[in-house]
Amino acid sequence: MQAEQKNAPVGEQGQEDAGKVSLVGREYEVEIGPVAHGGHCIARTDEGQVLFVRHTLPGERVVARVTDGEEGARFLRADAVEILDASKDRIAAPCPYAGPGRCGGCDWQHAKPGAQRRLKGEVLTEQLERLAGLTPEQVGWDGTVMPAEGDKLPAGEVPAWRTRVQYAVDEDGNAGLRRHRSHEVEPVEHCLIAAPGVSELGIEERDWSGMASVDAIAATGSQDRQVILEPRPGARLPLVELDRPASVLRVAEQDGGIHRVHGRPFVRERADGRTYRVGNGGFWQVHPKAADTLVTAVMQGLLPRKGDTALDLYCGVGLFAAAIADRVGDEGAVLGIESGKRAVEDARHNVREFDRVRIEQGKVEAALPRTGITEADLIVLDPPRAGAGKQTVKHLASLAARRIAYVACDPAALARDVAYFAEQGYRVRTLRAFDLFPMTHHVECVAILEPVAKVS
């Protein structure tokens, strides 16, 4: 790839003697290479320095302006500020707040929906090959990233899927979203990917002076709405008047805890034919179809049997624990482990009808050994973005489960942990990928693992 330097960085003169020279503001004309994990593509300068370029697509020729980095750095970050030769997959971004220096909430507003899913598939393929040494064929994956039900829309249309939106508030009281890799706020009148239940609250239209952030939650399967206010230090809570009824919570300045102001401290979510209580803004899948999609994929992969014993690790409010318990029957047993205190309380409430389900509080790596469990038929793990890690994987493999379902929100973490499982005698039987975060670079995966001897 050839790159032509367009201009010198802002403020470069006189910096040579003071240390490394900032390249922020310098522009390069470059040819764009493959997509990379993180919502950007790869290019190189004439000097061979790697550019991670946002707002572009593979195969394009663009003018890229450096947003972060200095001479001699391993890589630079940049935005495509002029498109010289456009990809056939490029469209005009439907969102007026998308683009260089604007809202950082979306990565692929400028790409056709089908192209977005292909890019995510390419990232997942690359991470598996680089970090686990596995091809799509070896993990039983056809390379497809499936859209959620109702999300397969024509180019230029955006699915309104985000049921949880954290609005930042600027110094003037305007609600907006953070710019990419920045604390700066981009005020918005309407977020296109916000679910209708969030948009109907009218948060963007109000003055939030004194607040640092406003979280909006619109439950799936109920009319529950909730806002969580985080005041700036010393600020008083405003009188909250919204366009739809909603409970109000606040973040305490002293300890960061979340406390009820009025209304329920929880919302009711529906999935797998059940109602789940989720309190104090706790974790729940953001896409309205995500919980059902993932439960279906996990259950189809595990194929629970009556009387099975199972583990649900990083169990949150008990989504998978309840689903498994419902299928293993009265002779089966399920243990869930979750570190969050409020999530554990909710999980215990959500599985209260099952006598042989237990929820323990603690970090998985510490709590699981304390249980004394030496074997299990089935395991589900849905770890945070960093993954489970080598020691936890080693412990899980020692339990000799018939099948393990790994739910992953990060391709790199999934690939690393799959490699650790391989060291312990487990390999991936099937892998499914779902586009549960349209317009962003994120992708959700469900990998089903089995002991090598059992894989046909």
Query: Is the distance from CB of 111 to CB of 91 less than 8 angstroms?
Result: yes
| Residue 230: both structure tokens together | 């985080």
- 403 bridge partner residues: 378
**Nearest 10 degrees: Cα torsion 203, 205, 209, 213:** 30
Alpha-carbon distance of 324 to 303, in angstroms, equals 10
| Residue 12: both structure tokens together | 């470069």
Alpha-carbon distance of 266 to 393, in angstroms, equals 33
Q: Does the annotation mark 409 as catalytic?
A: yes
Strand runs labelled E in 219-306:
225-231, 247-251, 258-262, 266-271, 274-279
Query: Is the distance from CB of 381 to CB of 313 less than 8 angstroms?
Result: yes
| Catalytic residue selected from 103, 191, 315, 409 | 409
Query: Is the distance from CB of 27 to CB of 48 less than 8 angstroms?
Result: no
**Nearest 10 degrees: Cα torsion 417, 419, 422, 428:** 70
Q: Is 387 helix (H, G, I), strand (E, B) or coil?
A: coil
CB atoms within 10 A of CB 406: 29
Q: How many residues are there in the chain?
A: 456
Alpha-carbon distance of 279 to 7, in angstroms, equals 52
Catalytic residues: 409
